[in-house]
Structure 1
Amino acid sequence: MGTPKKRTQDEDHEHGRRNPVSAADDHMAEEDEGMGEFEDNFVDELEQDDEGEVIVDNDDDDDDDEDMDAEMENDEEEEEEVRVYLPGDELKEGEVLVADNSAYEMLHQLQVEWPCLSFDILRDNLGLMRKQFPMTSYIVAGSQAERAKDNKLYLMKMSDLHRTKHDNDDEMDEDSGDEDLDDDPVLEYKTVPHNGGVNRVRVMPHPESHIVASWSEYGKVHIWDLTQVVASLDTPGLTANVTKPLFNVDRHNKVEGFAMDWSSLGNKYRLLTGDCASKIFLTTLHSNTAFQTDALPFTGHESSIEDLQWSPAEESVFSSCSADGTIRVWDVRTKGKAQISWKAHDSDVNVISWNRLTDRLIASGSDSGEFSVWDLRTVASTAGTKGPQTPAASFNWHKKPITSIEWHPAESSMLAVAGADDQVTLWDLALERDAEEEPMMAANAAAAGAPKVEVPPQLLFIHQGQESVKEVHWHPQAPGVLVSTALSGFNVFKTINS
């Protein structure tokens, strides 16, 4: 379990440690306002040093052995202060959370000029199944600036993402071949002006061209060709000045929205967008010349469209979720009723993810903090019946709204889930409780100082340290690498069990 450890504030100072979140603040140089803040704002987790000495004052010749024993006892108590923290466990006065760096293969942090509450990972030509360090990743993100005119799309190239894992005893893995654990990654960026805050941004899944869609707070969806902007990150001297989008989706009539997804099958230049007035529109590139938005929307939901997902197996099929608590499956060949509709949660359904390896499974996250997995075979067979549908699996670990959910691109049973409770959790739904091992696991947890919190066996990892996490995405070409964004900035990480 990759949960943080708890350490008292005094002990934290004694050993030279810093809270991972505040460390990012400390690392920022006092630079000019603007995008200059990006440079070197990554922060490696500090190398742990558990060999701090306790200096005993022996000036008084009358000190006896009892005083020495007391000092040693206090030292042991300080060492016992380091223990596993799980959400729900109460922090004592003076305790702070410190990430267990031995649980991560890689952990880097990045703060930006303005919070970016949505982002997507750009496909590249650096190869699939990349596992070697250092790594490189490209992302596009949209800002939430204080003034509408200050908003931007950020195109970022993060390179020299080194392995940062340190063992608990501070000994480096000699077999890793990486001697640069503490080297800072390099960040290069380009910006594109954006009218209004960016509610959501999504990239067309194509490695050769970078077509990006952005939902503006002003009720318009913009489609951009950022191919040359991304290329300029790799080519010194190449400039790309993009000031206007290729196309604007105006059918939403200035109604704000958040839901958006590009097709990955058939014509990849197909974009679905859903708004807060419960309408879904389809925009398509026709004859490779111009985009066009259908005049008639898909209707049927009774409240705001929160998320959209194209089917990974059938090019004409997509799913939607809504604040009305339902999930629906549609066919673009008809603008009539949804093919399947069911009540998924008693609260808003904020996000959905369609499993690309097992296409009968859809995961959903709700405003109550519950997330569920639905088997479309079961849902379809009971469609139209009264009463709620039964999910294939359901979990109530998160205590605040689920803000992001995504299946692992290469492991059909693994999920990443983000919540407003400042957690990113990793799950393997193939795992089951082992009654024979439970007593041993409980004893080991107690010996490690773990709190008495019931942990589902499917919960692999808890990542914390960000404030108000909004989105998390698996890197499609670097297995196990995740990127998350929050009000406090970005994290790029890979756990030892992903």
Structure 2
Amino acid sequence: MSKRSVTEVQTVSSSDSRDPKKPFGSHPKRNDADDEMGEFEDGWEDEYESDGEVVDEEAEDGMDVDEEVLPPIEETEEQPPAADVFIPGLHKLGEDEVLEADESSYIMRHEMGVDWPCLSFDVLRDNLGDERQRYPATAYIVAGSQAPAGQSNQISVFKMSSLHKTQRNAEESDSDDEDDDEVVDEDPVVETRSVPHIGGVNRIRAQPLSPSTPLPPVSQPYYVASWAETGKVHIWDVRPLIEALDTPGYSLPKQRVSTPAFTITSHGRAEGFAMDWASSGGANPSALRILTGDVHSKIYLTTTTTSGFNMLTQPFVSHTSSVEDLQWSPTEATVFASCSADQSIQIWDVRSKGRKSVAGIDQAHPSDVNVISWNRSTAYLLLSGGDEGGINVWDLRNVKKRGTTGTEPTPVAALNFHRAPITSIEWHPTDESSFAASGADDTVTLWDLALEADTEQEGVTMNGDVPVPPQLLFQHAGQKEIKEVHWHPQIPGTVISTGYDGFNVFKTISI
């Protein structure tokens, strides 16, 4: 069996019996070699380290050497073996190689396969409590499939339970650890309830519920919106699906779950991906608002009243290409942001006349701006991810208003580590300086902007090619075509990601 490693925590091994989709973890180290968060190890260092044998000092001084003990070194044309280092996005696996996780990098790590790829999902809030730290954990998510045949697609609610801590090796276990009973080598349990969906699901988003707002009772709806490839946005009540997962023998009300509660047809036949909910009243349906953006650069607002949903017919128009993502302001009820394939980020106020943006960054990235995320704790910070693989952090206080003069703002931080388009980005729900991102280089990265470069770490690169930003905490890989990543708002530090081959649920020692 051959192995290749990434720094000291990532390995790749040749084994036909292993799952070729198994991920691995990597957490850059930041202090000295004895510290758990030390600096990157040299991938070549082990090639030249002493193996502990005692070498005769006289031999080193040129004295005679017994050739039977130390035979003369023969010249050879063979080259020394290459460094056994694997860098996601830079290197490719061989035909007989698979990624193998270093479980010591994770507090928890689980995988879940699906029948058809679910390239968009959202985390559903539950009534199990906030700030949950004990294991095994339970999580609920909603996802939409992308099956080859449009009529085979579904909206599914998954309940993932028995999510135990990652099994530790015997030598790593502490007999005095109070949490030893939580470390169990036991498979998680996955249950699901689904409803049919016409067409593949481009994006799915759940009605937002704050920590102070409990899960709606069975009698009240819990809405989820799906952007279909047919050009329609369907709104579903998934509360009965959750109840069916939690209540043995529960009979699903077919009429309530088999058809959408409402369908937004404002976009005609134009397909779209951008979507975001806003709510000033929690589970109160009369306070809900949802924005949807399409590939023809138009953004529509749909609101709810006591009588139901209301589509506004006049679109917001300032973009000149496909609208890729939308985000409501966390503090201003009438303000939202959008990003587009026209390389810009626009800021809007729904009260403005003419449905034009009120401020913006015209050249936010040198290519399509794929995703944005608005900081919930520091409302003037906005993240953006581009098609070139770059991540920018923007201070919205520097963004110029329309009709005013001034220079184009520059990002307060520009992170260029991913080697392919950024596919998802999201601020940590409670830590104002941390965020997660995913890329088409098949990796998820975790970041902390509060970190600064250590003097001993300056100039550190991976394989002498890819600079390692000091803000990079962790790199997770092993999934194929990762499309979205979300933090679980009720289980601190837990990340869920989806790709072509299913879901990963993990929590690292870095967060």
Q: Where on the TM-score scale, by shorter chain, does this alignment land: which range?
A: 0.7 to 0.9
Say whether residues 1:190 and 2:181 are aligned partners. Answer: no
Q: Is the 8 A contact 1:154 1:190 kept in 2?
A: yes
Inter-CA distance 86–323: structure 2 relative to 1 (3 Å threshold): closer
Decide which of 234, 238, 245 is 2:246's aligned counterpart: 234
Q: Distance in 2 between matches of 1:237 and 1:140?
A: 21
Matches within 5 A, 1:79-478: 85=87, 87-88=89-90, 96-167=98-169, 170-174=171-175, 175=177, 176-178=179-181, 180-206=183-209, 207-208=215-216, 209-240=221-252, 241=254, 242-266=257-281, 268-287=287-306, 289-336=307-354, 337-343=356-362, 344-380=364-400, 384-385=404-405, 388-435=408-455, 437-438=456-457, 451-452=463-464, 453-478=466-491
> Deviation at 1:451?
3.7
Q: Distance in 1 between matches of 2:264 and 2:333?
A: 22
Compute the TM-score of the two structures, normalised by the length of structure 1.
0.81
Compute the TM-score of the two structures, normalised by the length of structure 2.
0.79
Structure 1 residue runs without a partner (length 5+): 24-63, 68-76
Q: Is the 8 A contact 1:258 1:305 kept in 2?
A: yes
Q: Distance in 2 between matches of 1:451 and 1:170?
A: 31
Counterpart position of 2:509: 496
Q: Is the 8 A contact 1:309 1:318 kept in 2?
A: yes
Q: Distance in 2 between matches of 1:478 and 1:329?
A: 32
Q: Is the 8 A contact 2:90 2:419 kept in 1?
A: no
Decide which structure has the larger Cα Rg and report it: 2
Q: Distance in 1 between matches of 2:116 and 2:377?
A: 36
Q: Distance in 2 between matches of 1:324 and 1:405?
A: 19
Q: Is the 8 A contact 2:89 2:442 kept in 1?
A: no
Say whether residues 1:6 and 2:19 are aligned partners. Answer: no
Q: Distance in 1 between matches of 2:154 and 2:268?
A: 23
Find the residue that maps to 2:244 and give its secondary structure.
helix
Q: Is the 8 A contact 1:300 1:338 kept in 2?
A: yes
Counterpart position of 1:485: 498
> Deviation at 1:349?
0.5
Inter-CA distance 7–213: structure 2 relative to 1 (3 Å threshold): closer
> Deviation at 1:198?
0.3
Q: Distance in 2 between matches of 1:156 and 1:138?
A: 6
Find the residue that maps to 2:398 and give its secondary structure.
helix
Q: Distance in 2 between matches of 1:271 and 1:2?
A: 44
Q: Distance in 2 between matches of 1:375 and 1:397?
A: 21
Q: Distance in 2 between matches of 1:84 and 1:187?
A: 32
The one-letter code matched in structure 2 to 1:171 is E
Q: Is the 8 A contact 1:193 1:243 kept in 2?
A: yes
Find the residue that maps to 1:178 and give its secondary structure.
helix
Deviations 1:378-423 (CA, angstroms, capped at 9, x unpaired): 1237985466430011111111110000000010000100000001
Root mean square deviation, CA, Å: 2.8
> Deviation at 1:7?
4.0
Aligned length: 434
Find the residue that maps to 2:226 and give its secondary structure.
strand
Q: Is the 8 A contact 1:262 1:268 kept in 2?
A: no
- Of 326-335 and 458-467, deviating more is 326-335
Q: Is the 8 A contact 2:294 2:322 kept in 1?
A: yes
Counterpart position of 1:50: none
Q: Is the 8 A contact 1:264 1:310 kept in 2?
A: no
Q: Distance in 1 between matches of 2:87 and 2:420?
A: 18
Q: Distance in 1 between matches of 2:390 and 2:111?
A: 28
Counterpart position of 1:57: none
> Deviation at 1:66?
8.3
Q: Distance in 2 between matches of 1:398 and 1:193?
A: 36
Normalized per residue, the structure richer in helix is 1
Counterpart position of 2:18: 18
Inter-CA distance 378–478: structure 2 relative to 1 (3 Å threshold): same
Inter-CA distance 245–335: structure 2 relative to 1 (3 Å threshold): farther
Inter-CA distance 128–392: structure 2 relative to 1 (3 Å threshold): same
Taking only the aligned residue pairs, the percentage that are identical comes to 51
